[in-house]
Structure 1
Amino acid sequence: PKDTKQLRANYADVPNNIIGAIVDANTTRKDFVADSIIKRNPQRVGIYRLIMKAGSDNFRASSIQGIMKRLKAKGIEVVVYEPVLDEPEFFHSAVIQSLDEFKQSCDVIVSNRMVDEIRDVEDKVYTRDLFGSD
Protein backbone atom coordinates (compact mmCIF):
# COMPACT_ATOMS: atom_id res chain seq x y z
CA PRO A 1 0.00 0.00 0.00
CA LYS A 2 1.04 3.56 -0.64
CA ASP A 3 2.02 5.71 2.30
CA THR A 4 -0.10 8.65 3.45
CA LYS A 5 2.30 11.21 2.00
CA GLN A 6 1.97 9.65 -1.46
CA LEU A 7 -1.83 9.47 -1.17
CA ARG A 8 -1.98 13.16 -0.25
CA ALA A 9 0.23 14.00 -3.23
CA ASN A 10 -2.06 12.05 -5.57
CA TYR A 11 -5.17 13.71 -4.16
CA ALA A 12 -3.60 17.14 -4.60
CA ASP A 13 -3.32 16.38 -8.32
CA VAL A 14 -7.12 16.14 -8.70
CA PRO A 15 -8.18 19.24 -10.62
CA ASN A 16 -10.43 21.60 -8.66
CA ASN A 17 -12.98 21.62 -11.48
CA ILE A 18 -13.65 17.90 -10.87
CA ILE A 19 -14.47 18.56 -7.22
CA GLY A 20 -16.67 21.50 -8.27
CA ALA A 21 -18.43 19.34 -10.84
CA ILE A 22 -19.22 16.71 -8.19
CA VAL A 23 -20.70 19.35 -5.88
CA ASP A 24 -22.74 20.81 -8.75
CA ALA A 25 -24.00 17.35 -9.77
CA ASN A 26 -25.08 16.58 -6.21
CA THR A 27 -26.97 19.87 -5.99
CA THR A 28 -28.64 19.24 -9.34
CA ARG A 29 -29.69 15.74 -8.26
CA LYS A 30 -31.22 17.01 -5.00
CA ASP A 31 -33.08 19.72 -6.93
CA PHE A 32 -34.36 17.12 -9.42
CA VAL A 33 -35.55 14.72 -6.72
CA ALA A 34 -37.24 17.48 -4.71
CA ASP A 35 -38.93 18.94 -7.81
CA SER A 36 -40.17 15.48 -8.85
CA ILE A 37 -41.74 15.00 -5.41
CA ILE A 38 -43.23 18.51 -5.35
CA LYS A 39 -44.94 17.85 -8.70
CA ARG A 40 -47.05 15.21 -6.94
CA ASN A 41 -48.56 17.99 -4.78
CA PRO A 42 -48.17 16.20 -1.44
CA GLN A 43 -49.25 17.62 1.89
CA ARG A 44 -47.03 15.19 3.80
CA VAL A 45 -43.90 13.42 2.57
CA GLY A 46 -42.43 10.49 4.44
CA ILE A 47 -38.78 9.57 4.36
CA TYR A 48 -38.58 5.79 4.58
CA ARG A 49 -35.33 4.83 6.30
CA LEU A 50 -32.32 7.08 6.64
CA ILE A 51 -29.95 4.17 6.19
CA MET A 52 -28.80 3.91 2.60
CA LYS A 53 -27.76 0.25 2.39
CA ALA A 54 -29.50 -2.88 3.61
CA GLY A 55 -28.00 -4.15 6.86
CA SER A 56 -26.18 -0.88 7.59
CA ASP A 57 -26.59 1.30 10.66
CA ASN A 58 -24.89 4.30 9.07
CA PHE A 59 -27.12 7.39 8.80
CA ARG A 60 -25.89 9.08 5.63
CA ALA A 61 -28.11 12.03 6.15
CA SER A 62 -26.62 14.92 4.20
CA SER A 63 -28.31 14.18 0.86
CA ILE A 64 -31.72 13.50 2.34
CA GLN A 65 -31.43 16.59 4.54
CA GLY A 66 -30.99 18.69 1.41
CA ILE A 67 -34.13 17.18 -0.11
CA MET A 68 -36.04 17.61 3.17
CA LYS A 69 -34.98 21.27 3.30
CA ARG A 70 -36.22 21.88 -0.25
CA LEU A 71 -39.59 20.23 0.49
CA LYS A 72 -40.07 22.14 3.75
CA ALA A 73 -39.26 25.41 1.96
CA LYS A 74 -42.34 24.72 -0.18
CA GLY A 75 -44.49 24.27 2.93
CA ILE A 76 -44.63 20.48 2.72
CA GLU A 77 -44.62 18.56 5.99
CA VAL A 78 -41.87 15.94 6.17
CA VAL A 79 -41.82 12.95 8.54
CA VAL A 80 -39.35 10.10 8.95
CA TYR A 81 -39.68 6.37 9.51
CA GLU A 82 -36.46 4.91 10.88
CA PRO A 83 -36.98 2.11 13.42
CA VAL A 84 -33.39 2.16 14.69
CA LEU A 85 -33.53 5.87 15.53
CA ASP A 86 -34.46 6.52 19.17
CA GLU A 87 -35.03 10.25 18.73
CA PRO A 88 -38.46 11.93 18.43
CA GLU A 89 -37.16 14.16 15.61
CA PHE A 90 -34.64 14.08 12.80
CA PHE A 91 -33.59 17.34 11.15
CA HIS A 92 -36.66 19.05 12.70
CA SER A 93 -39.06 16.42 11.35
CA ALA A 94 -41.13 14.03 13.43
CA VAL A 95 -39.99 10.42 13.58
CA ILE A 96 -42.91 7.99 13.31
CA GLN A 97 -42.28 4.62 14.94
CA SER A 98 -45.28 2.77 13.49
CA LEU A 99 -44.82 1.64 9.89
CA ASP A 100 -48.60 1.36 9.40
CA GLU A 101 -49.18 4.90 10.66
CA PHE A 102 -46.32 6.13 8.48
CA LYS A 103 -47.68 4.49 5.32
CA GLN A 104 -51.25 5.66 5.94
CA SER A 105 -50.38 9.26 6.82
CA CYS A 106 -48.00 10.10 3.96
CA ASP A 107 -49.00 11.22 0.48
CA VAL A 108 -45.54 10.42 -0.92
CA ILE A 109 -42.95 8.06 0.56
CA VAL A 110 -39.34 8.62 -0.44
CA SER A 111 -37.26 5.45 -0.37
CA ASN A 112 -33.75 4.66 -1.52
CA ARG A 113 -34.92 1.17 -2.50
CA MET A 114 -38.26 -0.50 -3.18
CA VAL A 115 -38.64 -3.07 -0.43
CA ASP A 116 -41.37 -5.57 0.40
CA GLU A 117 -42.63 -3.75 3.51
CA ILE A 118 -43.75 -0.72 1.47
CA ARG A 119 -44.77 -2.54 -1.69
CA ASP A 120 -48.43 -2.41 -0.56
CA VAL A 121 -48.29 1.40 -0.98
CA GLU A 122 -46.16 1.33 -4.13
CA ASP A 123 -48.33 4.03 -5.73
CA LYS A 124 -47.12 6.44 -3.02
CA VAL A 125 -43.44 5.53 -3.26
CA TYR A 126 -40.88 7.77 -4.94
CA THR A 127 -37.63 5.93 -5.59
CA ARG A 128 -34.90 6.06 -8.18
CA ASP A 129 -34.39 2.31 -7.68
CA LEU A 130 -34.56 0.70 -11.11
CA PHE A 131 -33.53 -2.83 -10.23
CA GLY A 132 -34.82 -3.44 -6.69
CA SER A 133 -31.39 -4.19 -5.20
CA ASP A 134 -28.32 -2.59 -3.64
Structure 2
Amino acid sequence: MFTNNTEAEAVKLFANTYLAMRVSFFNELDTFAEMKGLNTKDIIEGVCLDPRIGNHYNNPSFGYGGYCLPKDTKQLLANYTIENIPQKLMEAIVDSNTTRKEFIAKRVLDKLSTINNQPSTGTVGVYRLIMKAGSDNFRSSAIFDVMEMLKPFVKLVVYEPMAKGDEVEGVEFVSDFEEFAKKSDVILANRIDENLQRVKDKVYTRDIYSRD
Protein backbone atom coordinates (compact mmCIF):
# COMPACT_ATOMS: atom_id res chain seq x y z
CA MET A 1 0.00 0.00 0.00
CA PHE A 2 1.30 3.45 -0.95
CA THR A 3 -0.02 6.60 0.70
CA ASN A 4 1.25 9.95 1.88
CA ASN A 5 2.84 10.66 5.26
CA THR A 6 -0.31 11.90 6.99
CA GLU A 7 -2.40 8.87 6.05
CA ALA A 8 0.48 6.55 6.94
CA GLU A 9 0.66 8.06 10.42
CA ALA A 10 -3.12 7.78 10.76
CA VAL A 11 -2.95 4.08 9.84
CA LYS A 12 -0.44 3.45 12.63
CA LEU A 13 -2.37 5.43 15.24
CA PHE A 14 -5.74 3.89 14.42
CA ALA A 15 -4.33 0.35 14.20
CA ASN A 16 -2.65 0.58 17.60
CA THR A 17 -5.69 2.25 19.14
CA TYR A 18 -7.88 -0.57 17.82
CA LEU A 19 -5.57 -3.11 19.46
CA ALA A 20 -5.67 -1.11 22.71
CA MET A 21 -9.48 -1.10 22.46
CA ARG A 22 -9.47 -4.89 22.11
CA VAL A 23 -7.21 -5.30 25.13
CA SER A 24 -9.45 -2.96 27.12
CA PHE A 25 -12.60 -4.77 26.00
CA PHE A 26 -11.43 -8.16 27.26
CA ASN A 27 -10.06 -6.60 30.43
CA GLU A 28 -13.45 -5.05 31.18
CA LEU A 29 -15.12 -8.36 30.34
CA ASP A 30 -12.82 -9.96 32.92
CA THR A 31 -13.57 -7.25 35.50
CA PHE A 32 -17.29 -7.91 35.04
CA ALA A 33 -16.83 -11.67 35.36
CA GLU A 34 -14.65 -11.41 38.48
CA MET A 35 -17.06 -9.06 40.24
CA LYS A 36 -20.07 -11.25 39.34
CA GLY A 37 -18.35 -14.54 40.19
CA LEU A 38 -18.50 -15.78 36.59
CA ASN A 39 -16.01 -17.88 34.63
CA THR A 40 -14.00 -15.43 32.52
CA LYS A 41 -12.52 -18.14 30.30
CA ASP A 42 -15.92 -19.58 29.37
CA ILE A 43 -17.25 -16.14 28.47
CA ILE A 44 -14.20 -15.22 26.39
CA GLU A 45 -14.20 -18.52 24.53
CA GLY A 46 -17.93 -18.21 23.84
CA VAL A 47 -17.55 -14.65 22.55
CA CYS A 48 -14.56 -15.60 20.42
CA LEU A 49 -16.44 -18.41 18.66
CA ASP A 50 -17.89 -15.66 16.49
CA PRO A 51 -15.47 -15.60 13.52
CA ARG A 52 -15.92 -11.84 13.23
CA ILE A 53 -14.27 -11.53 16.67
CA GLY A 54 -11.77 -14.40 16.55
CA ASN A 55 -9.59 -16.02 19.18
CA HIS A 56 -6.69 -13.57 19.45
CA TYR A 57 -5.57 -10.64 21.61
CA ASN A 58 -8.09 -11.75 24.23
CA ASN A 59 -6.07 -12.74 27.30
CA PRO A 60 -6.89 -10.52 30.32
CA SER A 61 -4.03 -8.44 31.67
CA PHE A 62 -3.27 -5.57 34.01
CA GLY A 63 -3.66 -3.14 31.11
CA TYR A 64 -1.95 -2.40 27.82
CA GLY A 65 1.58 -1.03 27.93
CA GLY A 66 4.84 -1.05 26.02
CA TYR A 67 6.36 1.22 23.39
CA CYS A 68 3.37 1.99 21.21
CA LEU A 69 -0.12 1.49 22.58
CA PRO A 70 -0.09 4.01 25.47
CA LYS A 71 1.69 6.62 23.36
CA ASP A 72 -0.36 6.16 20.21
CA THR A 73 -3.75 6.09 21.91
CA LYS A 74 -2.98 9.34 23.71
CA GLN A 75 -1.60 10.93 20.55
CA LEU A 76 -4.69 10.01 18.56
CA LEU A 77 -6.94 11.34 21.33
CA ALA A 78 -4.93 14.57 21.39
CA ASN A 79 -5.44 14.98 17.63
CA TYR A 80 -9.20 14.68 18.09
CA THR A 81 -9.13 17.17 20.97
CA ILE A 82 -6.91 19.77 19.30
CA GLU A 83 -9.04 19.76 16.18
CA ASN A 84 -12.28 19.67 18.21
CA ILE A 85 -13.40 16.52 16.39
CA PRO A 86 -16.35 14.81 18.09
CA GLN A 87 -15.46 11.52 19.78
CA LYS A 88 -16.24 9.40 22.81
CA LEU A 89 -14.61 6.06 22.05
CA MET A 90 -10.98 7.26 21.85
CA GLU A 91 -11.21 8.92 25.25
CA ALA A 92 -12.91 5.84 26.70
CA ILE A 93 -10.07 3.58 25.52
CA VAL A 94 -7.47 5.69 27.32
CA ASP A 95 -9.60 5.99 30.45
CA SER A 96 -10.39 2.27 30.46
CA ASN A 97 -6.72 1.40 30.82
CA THR A 98 -6.43 3.51 33.98
CA THR A 99 -9.65 2.06 35.36
CA ARG A 100 -8.34 -1.46 34.87
CA LYS A 101 -5.11 -0.71 36.77
CA GLU A 102 -7.11 0.81 39.64
CA PHE A 103 -9.30 -2.29 39.76
CA ILE A 104 -6.26 -4.60 39.87
CA ALA A 105 -4.69 -2.60 42.71
CA LYS A 106 -7.92 -2.75 44.72
CA ARG A 107 -8.29 -6.51 44.22
CA VAL A 108 -4.73 -7.08 45.40
CA LEU A 109 -5.41 -5.06 48.56
CA ASP A 110 -8.62 -7.05 49.08
CA LYS A 111 -6.72 -10.33 48.78
CA LEU A 112 -4.08 -9.08 51.21
CA SER A 113 -6.80 -8.11 53.72
CA THR A 114 -8.37 -11.56 53.46
CA ILE A 115 -5.04 -13.29 54.07
CA ASN A 116 -4.10 -11.12 57.06
CA ASN A 117 -7.63 -10.81 58.48
CA GLN A 118 -7.17 -7.06 58.83
CA PRO A 119 -7.16 -3.95 56.64
CA SER A 120 -4.68 -4.23 53.79
CA THR A 121 -1.21 -4.33 55.30
CA GLY A 122 1.72 -6.53 54.48
CA THR A 123 4.01 -7.20 51.55
CA VAL A 124 3.04 -7.51 47.91
CA GLY A 125 5.53 -9.23 45.67
CA VAL A 126 5.61 -8.18 42.04
CA TYR A 127 6.62 -11.06 39.81
CA ARG A 128 8.34 -9.70 36.70
CA LEU A 129 8.16 -6.20 35.25
CA ILE A 130 8.22 -7.22 31.59
CA MET A 131 5.32 -5.89 29.58
CA LYS A 132 4.42 -9.24 27.97
CA ALA A 133 5.35 -12.91 28.01
CA GLY A 134 8.71 -13.69 26.43
CA SER A 135 9.80 -10.05 26.35
CA ASP A 136 13.08 -8.70 27.70
CA ASN A 137 11.69 -5.18 27.88
CA PHE A 138 9.70 -3.54 30.66
CA ARG A 139 9.56 0.01 29.38
CA SER A 140 6.09 1.48 30.01
CA SER A 141 4.82 -1.81 31.43
CA ALA A 142 1.36 -1.50 32.98
CA ILE A 143 2.64 -3.02 36.21
CA PHE A 144 4.50 0.20 37.09
CA ASP A 145 1.25 2.14 37.41
CA VAL A 146 -0.29 -0.61 39.53
CA MET A 147 2.76 -0.50 41.80
CA GLU A 148 2.44 3.27 42.24
CA MET A 149 -1.17 2.77 43.29
CA LEU A 150 -0.14 0.15 45.85
CA LYS A 151 2.92 1.93 47.29
CA PRO A 152 1.03 4.15 49.79
CA PHE A 153 -0.57 1.10 51.40
CA VAL A 154 1.86 -1.81 51.36
CA LYS A 155 5.51 -2.78 51.14
CA LEU A 156 6.53 -3.88 47.64
CA VAL A 157 9.20 -6.37 46.65
CA VAL A 158 10.05 -7.18 43.04
CA TYR A 159 11.46 -10.26 41.36
CA GLU A 160 12.80 -9.31 37.93
CA PRO A 161 16.01 -10.97 36.69
CA MET A 162 16.28 -8.40 33.87
CA ALA A 163 16.29 -5.40 36.22
CA LYS A 164 19.27 -3.54 37.67
CA GLY A 165 17.41 -3.11 40.95
CA ASP A 166 16.84 0.65 40.98
CA GLU A 167 13.99 0.97 38.48
CA VAL A 168 11.38 1.92 41.08
CA GLU A 169 12.20 4.24 43.97
CA GLY A 170 11.40 2.91 47.43
CA VAL A 171 10.87 -0.68 46.26
CA GLU A 172 13.02 -3.65 47.25
CA PHE A 173 14.35 -5.85 44.45
CA VAL A 174 15.06 -9.50 45.29
CA SER A 175 17.15 -11.61 42.92
CA ASP A 176 16.42 -14.99 44.51
CA PHE A 177 12.94 -16.35 43.76
CA GLU A 178 12.67 -18.41 46.96
CA GLU A 179 13.50 -15.36 49.07
CA PHE A 180 11.03 -13.29 47.05
CA ALA A 181 8.23 -15.82 47.54
CA LYS A 182 8.95 -16.08 51.27
CA LYS A 183 8.81 -12.30 51.75
CA SER A 184 5.57 -11.90 49.79
CA ASP A 185 2.12 -12.19 51.37
CA VAL A 186 0.54 -11.79 47.93
CA ILE A 187 2.30 -12.20 44.60
CA LEU A 188 1.10 -9.99 41.76
CA ALA A 189 1.74 -11.56 38.34
CA ASN A 190 0.58 -10.12 35.04
CA ARG A 191 1.67 -13.33 33.32
CA ILE A 192 2.19 -16.68 35.01
CA ASP A 193 4.78 -19.39 34.42
CA GLU A 194 6.04 -22.58 36.02
CA ASN A 195 7.93 -20.73 38.78
CA LEU A 196 4.66 -19.68 40.35
CA GLN A 197 3.04 -23.12 40.52
CA ARG A 198 4.63 -23.89 43.90
CA VAL A 199 3.21 -20.71 45.45
CA LYS A 200 -0.03 -20.44 43.50
CA ASP A 201 -2.08 -19.86 46.66
CA LYS A 202 -0.32 -16.51 47.05
CA VAL A 203 -0.65 -15.45 43.41
CA TYR A 204 -3.07 -12.84 42.10
CA THR A 205 -3.26 -12.86 38.32
CA ARG A 206 -5.86 -12.47 35.61
CA ASP A 207 -3.81 -14.47 33.11
CA ILE A 208 -5.83 -17.29 31.54
CA TYR A 209 -3.77 -18.50 28.59
CA SER A 210 -0.15 -17.82 29.65
CA ARG A 211 0.29 -15.68 26.55
CA ASP A 212 -0.50 -12.19 25.32
TM-score, normalisation: structure 2: 0.56
1:11-30 maps to which residues of 2 (within 5 A)?
A: 16-30=87-101
Corresponding residue for 1:91? 168
The structure with higher relative contact order (CA 8 Å, sep 6+) is 1
Output the amino acid matched with 2:94.
V
Output the amino acid matched with 1:127.
T
User: Counterparts of 2:122 and 2:5 in 1: how far apart (Å)?
Assistant: 50
Provide the aligned C-alpha RMSD in A.
Answer: 2.2
1:7 to partner: Cα distance: 2.5
Residue 50 in structure 1 maps to residue 50 in structure 2: no
Higher strand share: 1
CA contact (8 A) 1:50 1:61 kept: no
User: Counterparts of 2:10 and 2:196 in 1: how far apart (Å)?
Assistant: 47
CA distance 1:49–1:9, change in 2 (3 Å): closer
Q: Give the secondary structure class of the aligned counterpart of 1:91.
A: coil
1:1-134 maps to which residues of 2 (within 5 A)?
A: 1=1, 2-8=3-9, 16-40=87-111, 41=113, 42-73=121-152, 75-87=153-165, 89-92=166-169, 93-134=171-212
Output the amino acid matched with 2:203.
V
Higher helix share: 2
CA contact (8 A) 2:130 2:141 kept: no
Q: Deviations over 1:52-96 (max 9, x none)?
A: 3233111144421221111112x2011111001123x33211111
Q: Deviations over 1:30-67 (max 9, x none)?
A: 11100100002250011101113233111144421221
Gaps of 5+ in 2: 14-78, 114-120
Q: Give the secondary structure class of the aligned counterpart of 1:109.
A: strand
CA contact (8 A) 1:113 1:132 kept: yes
- Counting matched residue pairs gives 132
CA contact (8 A) 2:131 2:137 kept: yes
CA contact (8 A) 2:143 2:190 kept: no
Q: Give the secondary structure class of the aligned counterpart of 2:151.
A: helix
User: Counterparts of 2:10 and 2:160 in 1: how far apart (Å)?
Assistant: 40
User: Counterparts of 1:36 and 1:104 in 2: how far apart (Å)?
Assistant: 21
Q: Give the secondary structure class of the aligned counterpart of 1:56.
A: coil
CA contact (8 A) 1:82 1:95 kept: yes
